[in-house]
Structure 1
Amino acid sequence: MSILKRVPWVSLALVLLSYSTLGWVISETRASMFVWVVTVVAILILIVTLTAPWPKMTYYYSIFLQSNTRSFGIAVLAAFLFFIMIAWFGVFLDTLLILSATILVRIDFQRAGLKGGVAFLTASIFSLGGLALGALIYKFIYSQIPLT
Structure 2
Amino acid sequence: MGFIRKLPLLSFTLLLVSYFNFGWVLSEAGAEWWVWLISTLAILLMAEALAAPWSIIRTVSVQWLKSDFRAFFTVMMAAFLFVLFLSTLHISAHGLILFIAASIARLDLQKGGNFQAWQDFVILAVVAICGLILGWGSYHLMPLH
Q: Does 1:109 align with 2:112?
A: no
* 5+ long unaligned stretches in structure 1: none
- What's the offset of the Cα at 1:65? 1.3
- How far, CA to CA, are the matches of 2:22 and 2:95 in structure 1? 9
SS of the equivalent of 1:30 reads coil
Q: How high is the TM-score relative to the length of structure 1?
A: 0.89
**Corresponding position of 2:25:** 25
Structure 1 moving runs of 4+ over 3 Å: none
- How far, CA to CA, are the matches of 1:91 and 1:66 in structure 2? 34
- How far, CA to CA, are the matches of 2:63 and 2:22 in structure 1? 32
Q: Between Structure 1 and Structure 2, how many residues are aligned?
A: 144
**Corresponding position of 2:92:** 92
SS of the equivalent of 2:30 reads coil
Query: Which amino acid in the other structure matches residue 122 of structure 2?
Result: L
- How far, CA to CA, are the matches of 1:82 and 1:51 in structure 2? 24
* 5+ long unaligned stretches in structure 2: none
**Corresponding position of 2:43:** 43
1:115–1:69: structure 2 CA closer, same or farther, 3 Å change rule? Answer: same
**Corresponding position of 2:139:** 138
**Corresponding position of 1:119:** 120
- What's the offset of the Cα at 1:9? 1.1
State the percentage of identical aligned residues: 29
Q: How high is the TM-score relative to the length of structure 2?
A: 0.91
